[in-house]
Amino acid sequence: MIQVQGLSKEYDGTRVVDDLDFEVRPGVVTGFLGPNGAGKSTTMRMILGLERPTAGRTLVDGRPYAELPDPLRRVGALLDPQALHGGRTARGHLRWLAASNALPKRRVDEVLAQVGLTDAADRRIRGFSLGMRQRLGVAAALLGDPPVLMLDEPVNGLDPEGIRWIRTLLRGLAAEGRSVLVSSHLMTEMALTADHLVVIGRGRLLADAATTEFIDRHGRTRIRVRAVNPEKLSALMRDSGLDAEPVDGGAWEVSGAEPERLAALAAAGGVVLYEIAVQQDSLEEAFMRMTADSVEYRAVAA
Ligand SMILES: Nc1ncnc2c1ncn2[C@@H]1O[C@H](COP(=O)(O)OP(=O)(O)OP(=O)(O)O)[C@@H](O)[C@H]1O
């Protein structure tokens, strides 16, 4: 379990993390979302004791990171995959980590296999692609078999097979009862991976909710409907005060009505429907709507 309590961070008087409170619970994957510059990496660095908070604190299994007896056995982290010693081999890097943290040497080959790097184990890291570095970073995070995992943008640089692999791995680790915090900008991926979301914007907590609840609350639900006679359907909906918008192929999108009401209305008016479907916004759409006011860097149309 990770606990973030009243956490704030200022750089030169600018507050980049602002009074954050949240928990990362065991048994679920918690997605950490926010626009660029929202303060996700800074928060993760504070959890790992790499930055000192201006106020508040972070706890891993009830203790500040600096007080954990065997940190690599308590929390595994992937922060910056580029921050690796290029002259070492993958196996050499992991052996050095294992030795300096008193972890059993056999773990090195176990995690290399787990991340699919066995064949590249004796190659120098400087020749690794970004995706291979990500895999090596994940291997390092898993080395101490920790109950808590924290990964900053782990799918960055991975191909579709790699992305799917990370998803399966993280969900499996959570199913084993571990606490998993993962940040990503890939919303479709987060919707598939994370059970729970912590969303921040400009350093402040915007949402802390189950993924499905977040989409329900911040996304829109519309009904897509098509009729044999679209004009007649349109007139019926207009007379009933329904908010309907024409879309492609003679279909209409209706907000603020249940499918039952719409179907009953059409039946009563003698209109035959051949398509009626409830459409829910994706996580990406829900996220864009909710963070619209918190986006710091945005392209502006010329
Ligand atoms: N060492 C530092 N000194 C000064 N400002 C910093 C420092 N580290 C981060 N910041 C600033 O803090 C803010 C939050 O940055 P952070 O990297 O935590 O955001 P993020 O949510 O991880 O963003 P991204 O999604 O782009 O990775 C940014 O405005 C950044 O410029």
Q: What distance in angstroms lies between residue 42's CA and the mean position of ligand 1's atoms?
A: 6
pLDDT at residue 130, as a whole number: 85
- For residue 242, the number of C-alpha atoms closer than 13 Å in the C-beta half-sphere is 28
9 lines ligand 1 (CB under 6 A): no
Are residues 247 and 137 part of one domain?
Answer: no
Structural domain of residue 93, as residue ranges?
A: 2-210
Q: What are the structure tokens assigned to 270, written together?
A: 């003698």
From atom 8 of ligand 1, which residue's Cα is the shortest distance away? Answer: 42
CB 194 within 8 A of CB 31: yes
CATH number assigned to the domain comprising residue 49: 3.40.50.300
Q: What distance in angstroms lies between residue 39's CA and the mean position of ligand 1's atoms?
A: 6
Dihedral through CA 283, CA 129, CA 107, CA 32, nearest 10? -20
- For residue 229, the number of C-alpha atoms closer than 13 Å in the C-beta half-sphere is 12
84 lines ligand 1 (CB under 6 A): no
Q: What are the structure tokens assigned to 174, written together?
A: 């959570």
Residue 251 phi, psi dihedral angles, 5° rounding: -90, 160
CB 197 within 8 A of CB 214: yes
Counting ligand 1 atoms within 8 A of each CB, the residue from 7, 33, 41, 190 with the most, and so the one to mutate, is 41
Are residues 104 and 37 part of one domain?
Answer: yes
37-84 confidence digits (pLDDT tens): 999 999 999 999 999 999 999 999 999 999 999 899 999 999 976 777
- DSSP track, 47-90: HTTSS--SEEEEEETTB-GGG-SSHHHHEEEE--TT-S-TTSBH
Are residues 253 and 229 part of one domain?
Answer: yes
Q: What are the structure tokens assigned to 139, written together?
A: 């291997």
CA distances from 144 to 38, 55, 94 (A): 30, 30, 11
Cα–Cα distance, 194 to 140 (Å, whole number): 22
Q: Does residue 286 belong to any structural domain of this protein?
A: no
Q: What distance in angstroms lies between residue 217's CA and the mean position of ligand 1's atoms?
A: 28
CATH number assigned to the domain comprising residue 236: 3.30.70.100
Are residues 55 and 13 part of one domain?
Answer: yes
Q: What percent of the chain has pLDDT over 70?
A: 96
114-148 confidence digits (pLDDT tens): 999 999 999 999 989 888 899 999 999 999 999 99
Element (H, E) at 217: helix 211-218
pLDDT at residue 298, as a whole number: 56
More confident position, 299 or 270:
270
Are residues 229 and 136 part of one domain?
Answer: no
pLDDT at residue 65, as a whole number: 94
34 lines ligand 1 (CB under 6 A): yes
Confidence of residue 249 (pLDDT cuts 50, 70, 90): confident
pLDDT at residue 86, as a whole number: 76
Question: What average pLDDT does range 242-257 have in this prediction?
Answer: 87
Q: What distance in angstroms lies between residue 131's CA and the mean position of ligand 1's atoms?
A: 23
pTM of the shown model: 0.86
Among 27, 22, 29, 26, which residue's Cα sits nearest to residue 191? Answer: 29
From atom 25 of ligand 1, which residue's Cα is the shortest distance away? Answer: 36
| Least confident span in 87-96, 175-184, 213-222 | 213-222
pLDDT at residue 302, as a whole number: 43
Question: Buried b / exposed e across 258-271, counting CB within 10 Å, b at 16+?
Answer: eeeebeebbeebeb
Query: Does 285 score more than 80 pLDDT?
Result: yes
191-230 confidence digits (pLDDT tens): 999 999 999 989 999 999 999 999 988 888 899 999 998 8
Query: Does 293 score more than 90 pLDDT?
Result: no
Say what the ipTM of the complex is.
0.95
Question: Closest ligand 1 atom, CA of 203?
Answer: 14
Q: Does residue 299 belong to any structural domain of this protein?
A: no
pLDDT at residue 288, as a whole number: 86
